[in-house]
Amino acid sequence: MSDQKHDPSRRDIAGMALAGAAALAVAPAASAKPMIPIPPGLKIGVSANRPSPEYMTYLKQLGVQWLSVAPIQAEATAEGFIKQKAAWEDGGFKVYNIGSGVGPSGSLHNMSEVTLNLPGRDQKIEEYLNYIRYLGKAQVPYSTYAHMGNGIWSSGRVVSARGYSARDGNANSPDWKGTWAGKTFTGPLSHGRVYTEQEIWDNYTYFIKKVKPVAEEAGVRIGIHPDDPPMRMLAGVPRCIFSNFEGYKKAIEIADSPNIGVCFCIGSWLEGGEKVTGADPVDVIKYFAAKKKLFKVHFRNVTAPLPHFVEALIDDGYYDMSKAMQALVDVKFDGIVIPDHIPAVGTDPSQPDTSRGATTGEYRPHPGLAYLLGSMNALHKSALRTSKA
């Protein structure tokens, strides 16, 4: 999930406009507005951090125009988003979204408080609603949201057969654990008890019914990301909604809004495999695109389904990613498609990956990103030719 490049674990950010945020939170939603427009056509883009002349030059060299921008917590206001968007657009780029949510309390993405109805739930929801309002004021058309209650689970990093370092997902490893926003979650029970599926559904419904009118009033699309990894139960927390096709369909029906749809991470879906998720990625693309509910795609491959996957370059995993690209072209997808969780290419696999400047946000050329963009653009051109034949 590349939308997590900000550092939401830094809670003590001074100078946040809490009074203004509270006023926005209680403002009544008006009738639905038209969604903020986006031009037609599939957009191959990237996740981006802070702009700089060197960074912009590199992205232009790679043929990038559309961006998924990471939010800056201290500037997560309407005015901050307007400035952040303008800085990129002045350099010739287009901003499709500004990350997953972040507010005064930290991350507004994978919020345990919301998914599990823990103390602080309503405060988190109000901050999230303000985040969507701020995006609307900045005319940012989209944002990603994920509903995992105990983080993204991994077992560390390994060196692939081709020699690059990548995320390892071994459910049988003693290092198997979840992380998000500076928190770590472990088994057997990450939150001290087993939750029921009905609790998870009730908590999702409570949240999404509050989000719906605000998203519609702001004109912002919200794409919900699959669980990573998709497992029916993980450390006492059911992943019964966004880990499988039927749950996804029901969740989007409950939302019942043109503004609430899907951020389809193909890699997360492949981690579960069709036996868990109940659908091939092509089926998911076609279903939600037909309902105009497919807003964003993370183009990622893995070596195998659970119990043990390793993230892989597009041509180095078990799934034929050309099928997914062909489906996106065939359904005339208008959203953004980005490479995600990029393996460390061109670096010493025994050392930490510092190629992206992930902790500081500074520009560093990333060979893995260049490799994936080249692959994606080639697949896109091939799919276009096939579609026209």
337 confidence band (pLDDT: 50, 70, 90): very high
Instruction: Domain count for the chain, please give it.
Output: 1
Whether 13 maps to a domain, the answer reads: no
In a domain, 182, yes or no: no
Express each pLDDT in 266-283 by its tens digit. 999 999 999 999 999 999
Confidence band of 31 (pLDDT split at 50, 70, 90)? low
Q: Is residue 173 part of a domain?
A: no
Is the CB of residue 301 less than 8 Å from the CB of residue 322? no
Is the predicted pLDDT of residue 247 greater than 90, yes or no? yes
Backbone angles phi and psi of 62, in degrees to 5: -85, 0
> Average pLDDT in the 365-377 region?
93
Q: Report pLDDT for 382.
A: 97
Question: Is the CB of residue 335 less than 8 Å from the CB of residue 44?
Answer: no
Map tokens 């492949």 to a residue.
270
Does residue 144 form part of some domain? yes
What CATH number should be reported for the domain holding residue 62?
3.20.20.150
Confidence of residue 70 (pLDDT cuts 50, 70, 90): very high
Dihedral of the CA atoms 164, 165, 171, 177 (nearest 10)? -170
* Digit-coded pLDDT (tens) for 168-224: 999 999 999 999 999 999 999 999 999 999 999 999 999 999 999 999 999 999 999
Q: How confident is the model at residue 3 (pLDDT cuts 50, 70, 90)?
A: very low
Judge if the upstream peptide bond of residue 53 is cis by omega within 30 degrees of 0: no
State how far the Cα of 166 lies from the Cα of 373, in Å rounded to an integer. 17
Percent of the chain with pLDDT over 90: 83
Tell me which long-range contacts 367-372 makes (C-beta under 8 A, separation of at least 24). Answer: 368/164, 368/313, 368/342, 368/343, 368/344, 369/46, 369/62, 369/339, 369/342, 370/62, 371/313, 371/345, 372/299, 372/313, 372/314, 372/339, 372/342
Average pLDDT over residues 62-67: 97
The predicted pLDDT at position 18 comes to 36
Residue 22 has pLDDT above 80, yes or no: no
CA–CA separation, 345 vs 340, rounded Å? 14
Residue 23 pLDDT grade (very low, low, confident, very high; cuts 50, 70, 90) = very low
The pLDDT confidence band at residue 354, using thresholds 50, 70 and 90, is low
**Least confident residue range of 250-259, 322-331, 351-360:** 351-360
β pairing state of 102-103 and 106-107: antiparallel
| pLDDT value at residue 360 | 54
Least confident of 6-10, 298-302, 338-342: 6-10
Specify if 314 maps to a domain.
Answer: no
User: Would you list the DSSP string of 11-52?
Assistant: ---TT--HHHHHHHHHSPP-SPPPPPP--SS-EEEEEE-S--
Query: In the predicted model, what is the mean pLDDT of the chain?
Result: 90
Task: Burial-class residue 366 by CB neighbours within 10 Å (0-12, 13-18, 19+).
Answer: buried
Give yes or no for residue 1 having a pLDDT over 60: no
In a domain, 154, yes or no: no
325 within a domain of the structure (yes/no): yes
Q: What is the mean pLDDT of residues 35-61?
A: 94
Q: Which two tokens stand for residue 50?
A: 């802070």
The residues that bridge with 297 in the sheet, in sequence order, are: 264, 337
- pLDDT value, residue 5: 39
For residue 204, the enclosing domain spans: 38-149+196-301+321-388
pLDDT at residue 29, rounded to an integer: 42
Looking at residue 357, its pLDDT comes to: 53
Which has more confidence, 219 or 356? Answer: 219
61 vs 370, 374, 379, CA distance in Å? 9, 11, 19
Instruction: Say yes or no to pLDDT of 26 above 50.
Output: no
* Distance between CA atoms of residues 7 and 155, nearest Å: 21
Q: How far is CA 63 from CA 60, 102, 210, 355, in A?
A: 5, 29, 39, 20
In a domain, 128, yes or no: yes
Q: What is the pTM of this model?
A: 0.89
Give the 3-state secondary structure of residue 240: coil
The average pLDDT across 120-131 equals: 98
User: Please, which residues have CB within 8 angstroms of residue 180's CB and are 6 or more apart in sequence?
Assistant: 4, 107, 109, 110, 148, 150, 151, 152
Predicted local distance difference test score (pLDDT) of residue 363? 73
Please state, for a pLDDT cut of 70, what percent of the chain lies above it: 89
